[in-house]
């Protein structure tokens, strides 16, 4: 299974996805995990390009009609999920390639090259993309300790499935790579907030799965928050310097700054948020460095050092006494 | 579904086939194959008649299967819906004919049966024993012996205790149909159990190298000095080292490594170790033997 063209499993973690997106050449996008379907929280994260709902998959009856992909060629990028281990990346691509944002060369080329393909060929093109596969696989431990994936799958033989929710050209869609085509959920008026229209659909899934105790995650693909806050901060600094009467911002800020004192506290709040984003990205980067580093030489040399210092025996005794493990495969 | 601590892993509607000289004769009764996981974590393969008034009648066949004992396969060169429980040991085979409506699913069911009778759930052995009602005093003895944490005995000692209790329980509930009862068979069971126990995977490195074990050790400053070159650039401070051993990413790599080791994909000779084994314990012992300096202390 571990051939040079295999896709490995990666963690479903916002830090992984954020760096994955960046390494595929897309700037200014990040992924946040949502632990509840909180409409206020969703609104505060705007602009949201799309939502990804992931859950442990099992057979379900779903008789909702799907659009004929031929009818939507050129408007909706819809690819079928061809490679199981790539499903996270495919769900992310489903959003990036439909969001109307600047894509960078790798993804722009992919989108153009496959624009006339049917969904299965689009899926295969993604699977065959060496660049995307290389970036995806980089988030798994490096060779030679990538085991036969089939063996790990035995122990935790549940498959995760990813569904993307995204507004495209005035309608809300559900994109599921295991279906033959996109599912249109509803039309969106100019004044509609698509997040609020998507929430009930996601909520009913959550309720359905919660009853069967199926675990799930919800992620939002959004504009880089530090960028958003920095822009807001810059505006505030500009207008307070020029002494203008400040306009309330039509964003998620609670009220608009209407006086110098308010402007100051608002700027303070934004700077704190920016600091939090910096801390979060630093933490994410640390974790990704660890994910990509092969620690076997470290472990071996550490154990060797302990043996030389006569400190290994207690660990051996402990290993001999403990009951057999159930290995946990770290995949959400 | 759980009842009395027993977990039904799989049920397949099937009838018996009996050897009659050189042929297999079908028993026309409607029956049920059931694979269960007992309270003590052992797997039982059972067959019982279906058309009885009481749903919970005792099975006619009730065999404990250890991993590696048997597989469930189609009978070679015979009619399509004939299957067998084929044992590694001679003269223990049992034969069945499928009574499920859809023949297309026979192959999958057989695979699942094979998987279930070869499974082993160490986590269940000893779990919830205190709450469940015991059918016999002997089963209670097995449960207590299996509870880990009650004793710091070595793995071998634990296996010995379990095997003795198991033998006693089997004697009391009666051996399954087709098996001779005798001391030598019990002795065989004991040694089979010992072997199984030794073949079992053992802990993952992530369990041996727990943070609470490692952090005190890492206070020794020479460790970072020597190991820094094996850490990624930019993560070579003492704080980084301590963050590492508590991180999920490190734990995951230890699990992946332990799994690869166990599956035989990693040859310990790659590490310059003599050990022939493939468990984490073998790995640690190999390192100890190669690098510990017996003349010091």
Size of interface A-B (CB pairs under 8 A): 150
What confidence tens digit (pLDDT) does each residue in A178-214 have?
899 999 999 998 888 999 999 999 988 888 877 776 7
Q: What is the CATH number of domain B2-198?
A: 2.30.29.70
Residue B4 to chain A, least CA–CA distance (Å):
23
The pLDDT mean for chain A works out to: 84
Domain locations in chain B as residue ranges: 2-198, 205-296
Nearest to A324 among B122, B209, B249 (CB): B122
Q: Is A161 a catalytic residue?
A: yes
For residues B31 and B44, give the distance between their C-alpha atoms in angstroms, rounded to a whole number.
16
ipTM of the modeled complex:
0.81
pLDDT tier, B125 (very low <50, low <70, confident <90, very high otherwise): very low
Report CA torsion sign: B236, B241, B246, B251. positive
For residues A69 and B56, give the distance between their C-alpha atoms in angstroms, rounded to a whole number.
54
Q: Is A186 a catalytic residue?
A: no
Prediction pTM value = 0.64
- Report how far apart, in Å, the C-alpha atoms of B169 and of each of B40, B153, B206 are: 11, 22, 36
Taking an 8 Å cut-off on Cβ atoms, the answer to whether A290 and B235 are in contact is yes
* Both tokens assigned to A64: 């909702």
Which among B201, B175, B184 has a CA at the least distance from the CA of B67?
A: B201
Q: How many alpha carbons fall within 13 Å on the CB side of residue B155?
A: 22
* Both tokens assigned to B90: 């001679």
Taking an 8 Å cut-off on Cβ atoms, the answer to whether A326 and B154 are in contact is no
Taking an 8 Å cut-off on Cβ atoms, the answer to whether B256 and A315 are in contact is no
Taking an 8 Å cut-off on Cβ atoms, the answer to whether A321 and B152 are in contact is yes
What confidence tens digit (pLDDT) does each residue in B237-289 have?
999 999 999 999 999 899 888 888 887 777 777 778 877 777 888 889 989 98
Nearest to B202 among A300, A311, A324 (CB): A324
Comparing B174 with B11, the larger pLDDT belongs to: B11
- Chain B residue numbers with beta carbons less than 8 Å from the beta carbon of A319 are 202-203, 207-208, 280-281, 284
Q: Which of A136, A161, A201, A246 is catalytic?
A: A161
């Amino acid at each position: 299974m571990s051939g040079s063209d295999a896709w490995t499993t990666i963690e479903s973690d916002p830090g992984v996805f954020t760096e994955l997106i960046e390494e595929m050449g897309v700037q200014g996008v990040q992924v946040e995990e949502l632990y509840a379907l909180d409409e206020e929280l969703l609104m505060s994260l705007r602009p949201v390009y799309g939502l990804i709902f992931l859950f442990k998959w099992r057979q379900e009856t779903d008789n909702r009609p799907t659009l004929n992909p031929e009818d939507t060629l050129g408007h909706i990028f819809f690819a079928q999920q061809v490679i199981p281990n790539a499903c996270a990346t495919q769900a992310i691509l489903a959003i990036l390639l439909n969001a109307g944002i600047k894509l960078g060369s790798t993804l722009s080329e992919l989108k153009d090259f496959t624009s006339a393909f049917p969904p299965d060929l689009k899926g295969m093109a993604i699977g065959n993309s060496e660049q995307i596969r290389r970036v995806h696989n980089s988030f798994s431990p490096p060779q030679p300790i990538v085991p036969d994936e089939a063996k790990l799958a035995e122990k935790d033989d549940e498959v995760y499935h990813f569904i993307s929710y995204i507004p495209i050209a005035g309608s809300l869609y559900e994109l599921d790579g295991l279906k033959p085509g996109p599912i249109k959920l509803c039309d969106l008026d100019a004044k509609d907030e698509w997040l609020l229209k998507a929430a009930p659909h996601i909520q009913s899934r959550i309720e359905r799965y919660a009853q069967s105790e199926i675990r799930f995650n919800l992620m939002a693909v959004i504009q880089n928050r530090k960028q958003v806050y920095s822009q807001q901060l810059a505006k505030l600094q500009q207008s307070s310097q020029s002494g203008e009467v400040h306009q309330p911002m039509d964003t998620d800020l609670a009220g608009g700054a209407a006086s110098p004192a308010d402007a100051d506290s608002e700027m303070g709040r934004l700077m704190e948020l920016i600091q939090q984003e910096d801390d979060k990205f630093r933490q994410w980067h640390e974790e990704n460095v660890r994910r990509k580093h092969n620690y076997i030489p470290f472990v071996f040399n550490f154990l060797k050092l302990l043996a030389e210092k006569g400190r290994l025996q207690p660990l051996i005794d402990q290993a001999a006494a403990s009951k057999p493990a159930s290995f946990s495969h770290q995949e959400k | 579904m759980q009842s009395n601590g027993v977990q039904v892993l799989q049920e397949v509607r099937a009838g018996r086939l009996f050897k009659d000289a050189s042929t297999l004769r079908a028993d026309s009764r409607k029956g049920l194959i059931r694979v269960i996981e007992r309270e003590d974590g052992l797997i039982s393969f059972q067959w019982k008649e279906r058309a009885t008034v009481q749903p919970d009648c005792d099975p006619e066949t009730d065999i404990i299967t250890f991993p590696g004992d048997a597989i469930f396969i189609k009978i070679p060169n015979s009619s399509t819906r004939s299957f067998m429980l084929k044992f590694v040991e001679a003269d223990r085979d049992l034969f069945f004919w499928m009574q499920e409506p859809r023949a297309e699913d026979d192959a999958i069911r057989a695979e699942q049966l094979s998987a279930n009778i070869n499974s082993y759930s160490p986590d269940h052995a000893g779990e919830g024993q205190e709450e469940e009602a015991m059918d016999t005093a002997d089963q209670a003895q097995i449960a207590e012996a299996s509870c880990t944490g009650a004793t710091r005995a070595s793995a071998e000692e634990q296996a010995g205790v379990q095997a003795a209790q198991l033998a006693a329980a089997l004697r009391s509930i009666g051996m399954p149909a087709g098996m001779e009862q005798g001391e030598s068979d019990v002795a065989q069971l004991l040694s089979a159990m010992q072997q199984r126990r030794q073949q079992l995977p053992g802990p993952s490195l992530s369990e041996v190298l727990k943070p609470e074990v490692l952090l005190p050790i890492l206070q020794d400053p020479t460790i970072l000095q020597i190991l820094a070159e094996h850490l990624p650039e930019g993560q070579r401070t003492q704080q980084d080292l301590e963050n590492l051993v508590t991180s999920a990413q490190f734990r995951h790599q230890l699990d992946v490594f332990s799994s690869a080791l166990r599956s035989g994909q990693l040859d310990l000779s790659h590490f310059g170790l003599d050990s022939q084994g493939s468990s984490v314990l073998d790995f640690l012992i190999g390192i100890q033997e190669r690098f510990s300096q017996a003349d010091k202390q």
